Amino acid sequence: MNRIVIAMCIVFWASCGAKKTENQVVDKKLNPNGDSELAVVMRIMHEHAKQLKEEILAGKSVTPYPEEIKTINTAEPTPGMIGNKEVFVGFAGLYLSKLDSIYLADVNQKLQYNHMVNSCVDCHQVHCQGPLAAIRKLYIPNN
């Protein structure tokens, strides 16, 4: 009987602490503590890069990039992941310019795409090295 009462108290206590407000980060698929705005933007960037790679390799026209990518400079990072905001903003600006260059007429899209991936690698060597292996898989081989 005591075990049932204790179990019910634990369930009640856990449910009280589980309430969420509208502004809290709820997506916990990859991070049990929730995701920062910048982490979400980075995932969008990664998915878009994979799509670009497929389109370039297939010789298709590239689809426009998601608007969320433009928020890279203003998205709130995970605490402690960005040591120097000014350096990060410089890397972000370089990434955006490399991304834009893929969409210019008369460019080698494969080369420009790999330059974009280089800008990701360069930034992640300084800030948040965790995703480097996944980023390096984005390169298009030079055949």
Question: In the chain, where are the structural domains located?
Answer: 33-136
| Whether the predicted pLDDT of 47 surpasses 90 | yes
The Cα–Cα gap between 10 and 2 comes to 12
Mean pLDDT of the chain: 81
- 52, burial (CB in 10 Å: exposed 0-12, middle 13-18, buried 19+): buried
| Whether the predicted pLDDT of 76 surpasses 60 | yes
Phi then psi for residue 43, to 5 deg, are: -65, -40
**Locate tokens 């026209």: which residue?**
61
Regarding pTM above 0.85, the answer is no
